[in-house]
Amino acid sequence: MATNGRATSHGRTLRVAGAQIRNVVGDLAGNAEQILAAMSEAEEAGADVVVFPELALTGYPLADLVLRKEFVNAAAATLDELACSSGLVASVVGTVARVPSRRSWDIHGRDVAISAAVLFDGQLRGAYHKVMLPNYEVFDEARNFAPGSRPDALWRIGEVVAGIAICEDLWSGDGPPEAQAAAGAEILLVPNASPFHQEKPAGRHAHASEVARRNATPVVYVNCVGGQDELVFDGGSLVVDANGELLHRAPQFETECFCLDVPLGPPRPVAGKPITVHARPRSPRRQMPAPASAPEMPADAQVWRCLVLGTRDFLLKNGRSSAVLGLSGGIDAAVTAAVAADALGPANVLGVAMPTPESPAEELHDAEVLAAGLGIEYHVIPLEGITSAVRDGLAELLDGTPDERPTEGLAARTRAAILWAISDQLGHLPLATGNKTELSVGTAAVHGDMAGVFAPLKDCPKTLLYRLAALRNQRGSAIPQRIIERPPTVRTDAWGELPGYAVLDQIVERYLERGESLDDLVAAGFAAPLVRRILQLVDDSEFQRRQTPPGVKITTRAFGQDLRMPITNAWRPYATDHGPPVAVPLNPVRGDPPGTE
């Protein structure tokens, strides 16, 4: 049954459609329309089964929306309608399902499962409930969902025995796929809602192949597409055969309904008791030509598409189609503007330069050239009159204050107030231009550089922005070379001397994404005093990160739900004798604070 350890299908195939749709959280009617359309398409293609993404009907992630009884009821009612419309293609539709209340590791019963409903010939034939509920990084499924209790459920679809597993179920090495293959599954159908980060696409491919090889079953991995708050689901659905070889790859960041004949795994005894979806023998048909696979995208191109889709979907799904942002002549604003132009169309983006008298004329000029290059609207509002009005207002209060600190914070927050005022009047959504590096070390003024309703570059390290600018310029040099080549300013005032971004970004990534410690970083060759200063800045800046708008996750660990530290945190192992940097607004102190009242 196997040659050289390779699984052979003995010529048996299942015609499988995968519907990589672009669903929206909470949009039951709209998602159902997409599902119905794909069901029709699969029927036309003569598919035996069509697989939809995880929570295709409800959208993902649902957060506490799933605690609303009316929502769960409405999803159930919509599923019933879908079931009524189902034909002779077995349809595996992700949704939520009410289940008997089940406790996990606490006292709180959960009574909703993440479900893959199987629809056929006008009926709901059954449902698989996700067993593994990820509860780490961006995931919090154990918060609101009950785990499924039938990891080894099997489904008879005509002459074929299939297993269904959902997303996390696939990844454990001894989970539902293994139980299903052992019980007799010849193919694994796997709905997913798998958000993008830079290492995800390669990881999924390697992993799906491994599961296929381990169990000698083909794996049909169907993902969704679209931005949802901080996450972007990048599609890239995969079909691998029982030897782990790629049969099909859907494109990333786009919808696709594909259909292909998948050679089954070797026949095996059926130990389990499959739920019969139907027992119709298959009518003879010719093998269909394999659809063309999407090519692998280069790494930075994936990031660009992710930023564009995440930004577009945040605005469009929330009823807005235009944006406003500040143009400084720097790289952050340039890349943000280019992302916005690609996401919304340049005619829907307004760039506003808000120079101070100290702003170099060259940078103002670059902002104008950038706007022209991108084709976005451009406007200049000098800041001087406004900030001097604020300074006049403060003069009496601050009279005699010896501290003449730089007014960068004031300028940044005044710019933000102007952008909000424009937004109030014109309806454009304000975009923040800050990047991950400055958010990491706390050099972004709260409600200043990071002010906005969405922050496209929130998870982009500074060094990545230069690569992205160069990449974008391959489609016409919209971003002036001078912006790309101007050496970035690394703030050295209150923070002490920081290294160049190349070093800074490496240290931050190793600390936040790789979990490396001070010792690890020193062993890797970074100077200990430098590492201590940076790690302490990262830890001390948590409060600033809590008030930033959502942005697009692209790295393995993004600030937000993914990476949450206590704001009040007296564990400061990296602090030096110099004490905390003065410009960080909050500096945890040790010891028992004075007693109450």
The CB-of-390 to a second copy minimum distance in angstroms stands at 5
Residue type at position 69: K
Rounded to whole angstroms, how far apart are CA atoms 15 and 116?
A: 19
Q: In what order do the strands lie in the sheet with 377-380?
A: 377-380, 349-353, 323-326, 429-430
Rounded to whole angstroms, how far apart are CA atoms 322 and 445?
A: 25
Give the residue from 49, 41, 76 showing the smallest Cα distance to 277. Answer: 49
Establish if 300 lies at the interface with a second copy (CB under 8 A).
Answer: no
Establish if 100 lies at the interface with a second copy (CB under 8 A).
Answer: no
**Options 447, 458, 472, 533; binder of a second copy; rule CB under 8 A:** 447
Check if 137 is active-site.
no
Binding mask 52-81 for a second copy (x = CB under 8 A): -------x-xxxxx-xxxxx--x-------
CB count in 10 Å sphere of residue 586: 15
- What is the footprint of a second copy within residues 269-298 (CB under 8 A)? none
**Options 171, 182, 210, 486; binder of a second copy; rule CB under 8 A:** 171
Q: Which is nearer to a second copy, 59 or 434 (CB)?
A: 59
Backbone angles phi, psi at 105, to 5 degrees: -100, 15
Choosing from 41, 43, 70, 167, the catalytic residue is 167
Establish if 510 lies at the interface with a second copy (CB under 8 A).
Answer: no
Rounded to whole angstroms, how far apart are CA atoms 205 and 210?
A: 9
- Interface with a second copy by CB under 8 A: which range of 23-31, 49-57, 116-124, 286-294? 23-31
- The number of C-alpha atoms within 13 Å of 1 and in the hemisphere containing its C-beta is 10
Residue type at position 131: V
Strand ranges in 122-255 using DSSP code E only, listed in sequence order = 123-129, 154-157, 160-164, 187-191, 219-222, 225-228, 231-234, 238-240, 246-249
Check if 273 is active-site.
no
The CB-of-41 to a second copy minimum distance in angstroms stands at 15
- What is the footprint of a second copy within residues 151-170 (CB under 8 A)? 168
Residue 117 DSSP class: E
Establish if 242 lies at the interface with a second copy (CB under 8 A).
Answer: no
Q: Which is nearer to a second copy, 129 or 156 (CB)?
A: 129
Check if 54 is active-site.
yes
- What is the footprint of a second copy within residues 367-396 (CB under 8 A)? 379, 381-383, 385-386, 388-390, 392-394, 396
The CB-of-441 to a second copy minimum distance in angstroms stands at 18
Establish if 301 lies at the interface with a second copy (CB under 8 A).
Answer: no
Rounded to whole angstroms, how far apart are CA atoms 169 and 553?
A: 23
What is the Rg, in whole angstroms, of the alpha carbon atoms belonging to the chain? Answer: 27
**Count of chain residues binding a second copy (CB under 8 A):** 141
Residue type at position 485: E
Choosing from 33, 41, 43, 54, the catalytic residue is 54
**Options 236, 373, 550, 581; binder of a second copy; rule CB under 8 A:** 550
Residues 405-411: contacts with CB under 8 Å, at least 24 apart? 406/493, 408/445, 408/448, 409/445, 409/448, 411/356, 411/383, 411/387, 411/448
Binding mask 418-437 for a second copy (x = CB under 8 A): x-xxxxxxx--x--------
8 A C-beta contact, residue 82 and residue 35: yes
Q: Which is nearer to a second copy, 249 or 312 (CB)?
A: 312
- What is the footprint of a second copy within residues 109-148 (CB under 8 A)? 131-136, 139-144, 147
Establish if 197 lies at the interface with a second copy (CB under 8 A).
Answer: no
Establish if 4 lies at the interface with a second copy (CB under 8 A).
Answer: no
- What is the footprint of a second copy within residues 471-500 (CB under 8 A)? none
Establish if 529 lies at the interface with a second copy (CB under 8 A).
Answer: no
- What six digits make up the tokens of 255? 């919808």
Give the residue from 506, 560, 49 showing the smallest Cα distance to 259. Answer: 49
- What six digits make up the tokens of 426? 């014109």
Q: Which is nearer to a second copy, 169 or 332 (CB)?
A: 169
Rounded to the nearest angstrom, the gap between the alpha carbon of residue 593 and the centroid of all alpha carbons in its chain is 40
Establish if 26 lies at the interface with a second copy (CB under 8 A).
Answer: yes
Q: Look up tokens 């979806």; give the residue.
A: 277
Strand ranges in 6-165 using DSSP code E only, listed in sequence order = 6-7, 13-20, 49-51, 90-103, 109-120, 123-129, 154-157, 160-164
Backbone angles phi, psi at 211, to 5 degrees: -65, -40
Establish if 590 lies at the interface with a second copy (CB under 8 A).
Answer: yes
Backbone angles phi, psi at 239, to 5 degrees: -125, 125
Q: Which is nearer to a second copy, 16 or 554 (CB)?
A: 554
Rounded to whole angstroms, how far apart are CA atoms 40 and 22?
A: 17
**Options 14, 16, 17, 24; binder of a second copy; rule CB under 8 A:** 24
Establish if 101 lies at the interface with a second copy (CB under 8 A).
Answer: no
**Options 7, 16, 19, 28; binder of a second copy; rule CB under 8 A:** 28
**Options 29, 279, 292, 361; binder of a second copy; rule CB under 8 A:** 29
Establish if 405 lies at the interface with a second copy (CB under 8 A).
Answer: yes
Handedness of CA 198, 201, 202, 204 (dihedral sign): positive
- Interface with a second copy by CB under 8 A: which range of 183-191, 283-291, 403-411, 485-493? 403-411
Q: Which is nearer to a second copy, 280 or 405 (CB)?
A: 405
**Options 397, 400, 525, 577; binder of a second copy; rule CB under 8 A:** 397
The catalytic site residues sit at 54, 130, 167
